[in-house]
Amino acid sequence: MSNKRMVSFKLNGQDTDVVVEPRELLIHTLRERCAHTGPHIGCETSHCGACTVDMNGTSVKSCTILTVQAEGAELLTIEGLARGGTLHALQEGFMQEHGLQCGFCTPGMITRAYRLLQENPNPTDDEVRYWIAGNLCRCTGYQNIVKAVQYAARKLRGATP
Amino acid sequence: MSAQPEHIEGNPEKRDGRDAGQTDESRLNRLEGIGCARKRREDPRFIQGKGNYVDDVKMPGMTFGVMVRSPYAHARIKRIDTSRALALRGVIAVITAEELKPFKLHWMPTLAGDVQAVLADGKVSFQNQEVAFVIAEDRYIAADGAELVEVEYEELPAVVDPFKALEPDAPVVREDLAGKTVGAHGARRHPNHIFTWEIGDKDKTARAFDNADVTVKQDMLYPRVHPCPLETCGCVASFDKVKGDLTVYITSQAPHVVRTVVGLLSSIPESKIRIISPDIGGGFGNKVGVYPGYVCAIASSIVLGRPVKWIESRAENLTTTAFARDYWMSGEVAATRDGVIKALRVHVTADHGAFDACADPTKWPAGMFHVCTGSYAIPNAFVCVDGVYTNKFPGGVAYRCSFRVTEAVYLIERMIDVLAQKLGLDKAEIRLRNFIRKEQFPYQTPLGLEYDSGDYEPALRKALAATGYQELRAEQAARRKDLQAEWLLGIGVVTFTEIVGAGPSKMCDILGIGMFDSCEIRVHPDGSAIARMGSMSQGQGHQTTYAQIIASEAGIPSSVIQVEEGDTATAPYGLGTYGSRSTPVAGAAVARAARKIREKARRIAAHLLEVSPDDLEFDLDRFVVKGSPQQAKSVKEIAWAAYNNVPPGMEMGLEAVDYYDPPNFTFPFGAYICVLEINRFTGESKVRRFYALDDCGTRINPMIIEGQIHGGLTEGLAVAMGQELPYDAQGNVLGGTLMDYFVPTAVETPVWETDFTVTPSPHHPIGAKGVAESPHVGSIPCFTAAVVDAFAHLGVTHMTMPHTAYRLWQQCQELGLSKRP
């Protein structure tokens, strides 16, 4: 037990310190130490994307990142997307376009789509599909997720969603 | 009036239905009733990461359990040494079958009348079978502890092929059943034989075959697959030693059934057991059963007096908790030269794995497989199903379908195509020649079912017109002639009939409990309401759609109706959500409970207006005196009066409960067309177009229906094109990770086209039939049909799923298509 390390990062803008074993996975730290249960665990092998969070401006699957790798990082999770009580355009889009059913993939999916729209504010449908190919959904068949992302893209560009 | 509180949710407009200037349309819109595409009430929590799934549950003093599993498919356990695990700091306990024996918890009953080892009792019978359970302070230590449990095995020969399992000298999977010649479903003729189930008139069917112009026969395998919801199974069991209360948070599609099973196993009265299904991350049939992990967590918590969490890994999920299908089917059809079917004969060898844990109604060990005469007026049919034990994991769940309905629909839709090819008939035309006609409903099938309603021909004609079917066939003919064409073109046509809404208690029960469902509605003084249900959503949007039924039936706006499910402490007993039974059964209970509310409201309104109840008519959200429209009372006003001014002799309050035992199943249907291209050099396939017309009767929320259909089609694509849990000869399961087990991404998934017709169910209170499973049931044979159709001109009548690129390439190789010119 003596091999624990202190790790400091910014979680949704908040300075956060945790003390963890070096083997602890970031998803467990977020969910069990930081009470951020939005990101989920679907496979623990980087396939499903339910655990996707944004780390230093890149999407990562937090089930295969060690918490100690997050030292000094800026982390953004689904919990950090709404600002001042207002939903992010993506959150609104997922609701308006019925882009979710059971909701288990949704936090990872929205966080991944957030990264897409940061880098490509005007994607084609095929680009959306390519960008979310690391995030599995068993319920929706993706069609309405694509619509939801495009809704948000339009809104963020200032067009009618 | 002035004392009446206003609704705080939704539009702040005045809500009195009598207000001047309020049009009927605005009142209707405000109700958001049946037919409205209202947005989902569930969404705000999920889009903000505020869902509450079982792994989010945290309790003071909670421990974590991890399962030790067998690496062998079949082995005797010589010795289990837990001492090193127990010596690890943070490990609290390790349990094996020996520890469970004093509590008689080392075996448990299955839903199919068999027993299943909770922890292996001297022998393992499938790879990854549960052997020991390690409980520790956290999940890391529990995993370390599991590594330290030493188990010595003596490997035995395994049998994974159900036909070999029935050979005289086959390894015996279940020594615990030695000498038992009669099982839960009749005689057993071999140590690995579970049951023979026969239905239909064997002799009459045989005569129809003897006298037929044409007969065809086709063997087909429906491979072993897994529902693979994105959230795996898990639970948190918490036993309070002081109060003697057991609370279990669990991923269950049927929490009340779990309570009854836990009560039977633990001898704790059901009144002291609380089962809570929190938000569930998809089920698709995977979360109906009771699994050893749940039982171990519960038993450990009872002994330790501390909460125990068990969450399975993805590999555990894919290889231990409930496979689907594994049906080896042999179909025969007898017909006239014109393609009119006279008889259907089917034999199935059903691989049930090591324990018969199929989730079927008690009396039907092959579920509703007898819907296999499909949408067609087939006068004679006979079905025989043999259940077999093998060294594979148990299950036999209905993966996004009613019990064994996907298998049945696959069988008949494949057989009719095989017949069409034999006779040189078009695959749409042969269906038109055999459809049950509208005027034949209610239709009695030769296998004892009564179809409630259907109108198949207009549905197929609409599908053919929408897809330009004749042009597609012309394009295909041209493509077949073009020897340079790189892509083969296949067109699949499917016209399926499902059976859902299990079911009438005279036919369907689980553990002796009839398959009714329930709803309790309480209307509060302010006119808002809460409905509690025996069903359990796993993403279907029940909180949204049940409220719509109440809105239309009782005149209460959806926006002020709360729908609660999944907590046995508050909800009335129900059989849960699977087999598309929520709308047909629970939805009917909702409608009937709401009507009880409406009728009490009518009597209160009559009292307030000083007229007879018969003088009132219900008008959206109020009662109006016939012929005197200015005299009215809104449901909201009536709700207030229910708590202070009711007619003499009437009880106060405005509540109702309904337990609905359906008189029959419902029979949704659809017409699907798939246009698919296959690259003859690489085997790559592309779905160019998929058109799905569904008829689910009355449509409650078109947005949710469309979403369910998209999802079902995508799961159908997965099964048809890539999913399989193969085994090697030693019984090693080869599909246990998402690297090996196909789940389509957004890139492989095509854009779906949906359409509908509406043929209400005559026996359902609102005419609704259920929808979410139709697209899975209907699309799988449609993909196979399209794939086979691409090769049909070369004499191919059937190909085995999954239709992966490798297998399609092999087919091209075999036919000499893949040689580059």
Structure tokens, A140: 């929706």
Which secondary structure element, helix H or strand E, spans residue B692, and what is its range? strand B685-695
Would the pLDDT of B20 be above 70?
A: no
Within 10 A of B268 (CB to CB), how many other CB atoms are there? 18
Q: Distance (Å) from the C-alpha of residue A91 to the closest C-alpha of chain B?
A: 6
Is B746 in contact with A31 (Cβ distance < 8 A)?
no
- What are the residues whose beta carbons fall under 8 Å from the beta carbon of B125, sequence distance 6 or more? B73, B74, B117, B173, B174, B354, B355, B391
Task: Classify residue A128 as exposed, middle or buried by CB count within 10 Å of its CB (0-12, 13-18, 19+).
Answer: buried
Within 10 A of B270 (CB to CB), how many other CB atoms are there? 15
Would the pLDDT of B18 be above 50?
A: no
Q: Which of B127, B253, B543, B723 is catalytic?
A: B253
* Amino acid occupying residue B521: I
Q: Does A48 share its domain with A12?
A: yes
Q: What is the pLDDT of residue B511?
A: 87
Would the pLDDT of B95 be above 70?
A: yes
pLDDT in tens, B636-687: 999 999 999 999 999 999 999 999 999 999 999 999 999 999 999 999 999 9
Which one of B42, B53, B739 has the shortest CB-CB distance to A40? B53
- What are the residues whose beta carbons fall under 8 Å from the beta carbon of A85, sequence distance 6 or more? none
Structure tokens, B179: 């000498």
Q: What is the pLDDT of residue B821?
A: 75
What residues in B contact A44, CB-CB < 8 Å? Answer: 313-314
Q: What is the pLDDT of residue A49?
A: 98
Would the pLDDT of B790 be above 90?
A: yes
Is the CB of residue A80 less than 8 Å away from at least one CB of chain B?
Answer: no
What residues in B contact A1, CB-CB < 8 Å? Answer: 89
What's the average model confidence in pLDDT over B571-589?
Answer: 94
Determine the Cα–Cα distance for residues B796 and B799; give it in Å rounded to an integer: 8
pLDDT in tens, B740-755: 999 999 999 999 999 9
Is the CB of residue A156 less than 8 Å away from at least one CB of chain B?
Answer: no
Task: Classify residue B242 as exposed, middle or buried by CB count within 10 Å of its CB (0-12, 13-18, 19+).
Answer: exposed
Interface test with B, best of A19, A126, A139, A150 (most B CBs within 10 A): A139
- Whether residue B586 contacts residue B503, with contact meaning beta carbons closer than 8 Å, is answered with no
Domain-located, residue A26: yes
Q: Distance (Å) from the C-alpha of residue A150 to the closest C-alpha of chain B?
A: 14
Higher pLDDT, residue B264 or B707: B707
Is B230 in contact with A102 (Cβ distance < 8 A)?
yes
Pairing of strands B685-695, B753-756: parallel
Pairing of strands B186-187, B182-183: antiparallel
Q: What is the pLDDT of residue B8?
A: 33
Which one of A50, A79, A103 has the shortest CB-CB distance to B42? A103
Out of A30, A48, A80, a domain closes at A80
Which one of B89, B228, B707 has the shortest CB-CB distance to A144? B707
Interface test with B, best of A4, A23, A30, A143 (most B CBs within 10 A): A143
CATH label of the domain that carries residue A15: 3.10.20.30
Q: What is the pLDDT of residue B12?
A: 34
Determine the Cα–Cα distance for residues B500 and B404; give it in Å rounded to an integer: 11
Q: Does A141 share its domain with A110?
A: yes
Determine the Cα–Cα distance for residues A131 and A56; give it in Å rounded to an integer: 18
Q: What is the pLDDT of residue B1?
A: 35
Domain-located, residue A161: no
Determine the Cα–Cα distance for residues B363 and B195; give it in Å rounded to an integer: 12
Out of A17, A46, A80, a domain closes at A80
CATH label of the domain that carries residue A124: 1.10.150.120
Domain-located, residue A115: yes
Which one of B708, B712, B746 has the shortest CB-CB distance to A142? B746
Interface test with A, best of B41, B50, B230, B753 (most A CBs within 10 A): B230
Query: Whats the size of chain A, residue-wise?
Result: 161
Would the pLDDT of A44 be above 70?
A: yes
Is the CB of residue A151 less than 8 Å away from at least one CB of chain B?
Answer: no
Q: Distance (Å) from the C-alpha of residue A132 to the closest C-alpha of chain B?
A: 7
Query: Whats the size of chain B, residue-wise?
Result: 821
- What are the residues whose beta carbons fall under 8 Å from the beta carbon of B535, sequence distance 6 or more? B517, B542, B565, B574, B576, B577, B581, B582, B585, B586
What residues in A contact B45, CB-CB < 8 Å? Answer: 103
Residue B81's SS3 state is strand
Handedness of CA A11, A16, A21, A22 (dihedral sign): positive
To the nearest whole number, what is the mean pLDDT of chain B?
95
Is the CB of residue A124 less than 8 Å away from at least one CB of chain B?
Answer: no
Active site residue B812: no
- Tell me the residue range of the domain where A118 lies: 89-156
Within 10 A of B599 (CB to CB), how many other CB atoms are there? 13
Interface test with B, best of A19, A77, A101 (most B CBs within 10 A): A101
Out of A46, A80, A114, a domain closes at A80
pLDDT bin (cut points 50, 70, 90) of residue B3 is very low
Q: Does A14 share its domain with A42?
A: yes
> E strands along B483-558, which residues?
487-497, 509-510, 513-514, 517-523, 529-533
- Whether residue B149 contacts residue B81, with contact meaning beta carbons closer than 8 Å, is answered with yes
Q: Does A71 share its domain with A123?
A: no
Would the pLDDT of B418 be above 60?
A: yes
Which one of A95, A133, A143 has the shortest CB-CB distance to B747? A133
Determine the Cα–Cα distance for residues B250 and A1; give it in Å rounded to an integer: 32
Nearest CA in chain A to B400: A139
Residue B608's SS3 state is helix
Please name the residues between 21 and 40 in chain A that touch chain B, using a CB distance below 8 Å: 21, 23-24, 28, 31-32, 36-40
Q: Does A97 share its domain with A146?
A: yes
Q: Does A51 share its domain with A118?
A: no
Interface test with A, best of B47, B542, B544, B774 (most A CBs within 10 A): B47
- Whether residue A23 contacts residue A82, with contact meaning beta carbons closer than 8 Å, is answered with no
Q: Does A114 share its domain with A60?
A: no
Cis peptide before B762 (omega within 30 of 0): no
- Whether residue B354 contacts residue B166, with contact meaning beta carbons closer than 8 Å, is answered with no
Q: What is the pLDDT of residue B4?
A: 39
The angle, 0 to 180 degrees and rounded to 10, between the axes of the packed helices B774-791 and B405-423 is: 30
ipTM of the complex: 0.98
Would the pLDDT of B209 be above 90?
A: yes
Is A141 in contact with B313 (Cβ distance < 8 A)?
no
- Whether residue A144 contacts residue A99, with contact meaning beta carbons closer than 8 Å, is answered with yes
Which one of B232, B282, B737 has the shortest CB-CB distance to A45? B737
What residues in B contact A36, CB-CB < 8 Å? Answer: 49
Within 10 A of B160 (CB to CB), how many other CB atoms are there? 24
Q: Distance (Å) from the C-alpha of residue A72 to the closest C-alpha of chain B?
A: 24
Determine the Cα–Cα distance for residues B402 and B449; give it in Å rounded to an integer: 15
Q: Does A68 share its domain with A96?
A: no
* Amino acid occupying residue A53: V
Is the CB of residue A76 less than 8 Å away from at least one CB of chain B?
Answer: no
Which one of B42, B140, B711 has the shortest CB-CB distance to A140? B711
Is B48 in contact with A82 (Cβ distance < 8 A)?
yes
Q: What is the pLDDT of residue B6?
A: 35
Q: Which of B30, B400, B532, B592 is catalytic?
A: B400
Pairing of strands A74-76, A52-55: antiparallel
Is A95 in contact with B43 (Cβ distance < 8 A)?
yes
Structure tokens, A126: 């095929």
**Among candidates B527, B524, B507, which has minimal Cα distance to B515?**
B507
Q: Does A9 share its domain with A73?
A: yes
Q: What is the pLDDT of residue A2?
A: 66
How many residue pairs bridge chain A and chain B with CB atoms within 8 Å of each other? 175
Q: How big is the CA angle at B492 (ends B488 and B497), to the nearest 5 degrees?
A: 165
Which one of A48, A98, A103 has the shortest CB-CB distance to B279? A103
Q: What is the pLDDT of residue B23?
A: 84
Q: Does A97 share its domain with A76?
A: no
Q: Does A151 share its domain with A105?
A: yes
Domains and CATH numbers, chain B: 24-31+517-660 (3.30.365.10), 54-156+231-281+287-320 (3.90.1170.50), 409-500+665-814 (3.30.365.10)
% chain B with pLDDT above 90 = 95
**Among candidates A47, A153, A158, which has minimal Cα distance to A94?**
A153
Cis peptide before B668 (omega within 30 of 0): no
- Whether residue B642 contacts residue B654, with contact meaning beta carbons closer than 8 Å, is answered with yes
Determine the Cα–Cα distance for residues B133 and B125; give it in Å rounded to an integer: 17
Active site residue B89: no
Determine the Cα–Cα distance for residues B655 and B336; give it in Å rounded to an integer: 59
Q: Which of B233, B372, B401, B519 is catalytic?
A: B401
What residues in B contact A80, CB-CB < 8 Å? Answer: none
Q: Which of B773, B782, B811, B812 is catalytic?
A: B773
Q: Distance (Å) from the C-alpha of residue A159 to the closest C-alpha of chain B?
A: 22
Nearest CA in chain A to B746: A129
Q: How big is the CA angle at B389 (ends B194 and B385), to the nearest 5 degrees?
A: 50
Is the CB of residue A19 less than 8 Å away from at least one CB of chain B?
Answer: no
pLDDT bin (cut points 50, 70, 90) of residue B360 is confident
Whose structure tokens read 């071999």?
B190
Active site residue B637: no
pLDDT bin (cut points 50, 70, 90) of residue B237 is very high
What's the average model confidence in pLDDT over B387-405?
Answer: 95
Is B281 in contact with A140 (Cβ distance < 8 A)?
no
Is A36 in contact with B49 (Cβ distance < 8 A)?
yes
Is B711 in contact with A139 (Cβ distance < 8 A)?
yes
Domain-located, residue A68: yes
pLDDT in tens, B480-499: 999 899 999 999 999 999 99
Is the CB of residue A141 less than 8 Å away from at least one CB of chain B?
Answer: yes
- Whether residue B363 contacts residue B507, with contact meaning beta carbons closer than 8 Å, is answered with yes
Q: Does A9 share its domain with A53?
A: yes
Structurally, chain A folds into a number of domains equal to 2
Backbone phi and psi for residue B763, each to the nearest 5 degrees, phi listed first: -100, -10
Active site residue B400: yes
- What are the residues whose beta carbons fall under 8 Å from the beta carbon of B259, sequence distance 6 or more? B270, B273, B274, B275, B568
Which secondary structure element, helix H or strand E, spans residue B494, and what is its range? strand B487-497
What residues in A contact B229, CB-CB < 8 Å? Answer: 102, 104, 138
Nearest CA in chain B to A130: B747
Is B43 in contact with A31 (Cβ distance < 8 A)?
no
Would the pLDDT of B380 be above 80?
A: yes
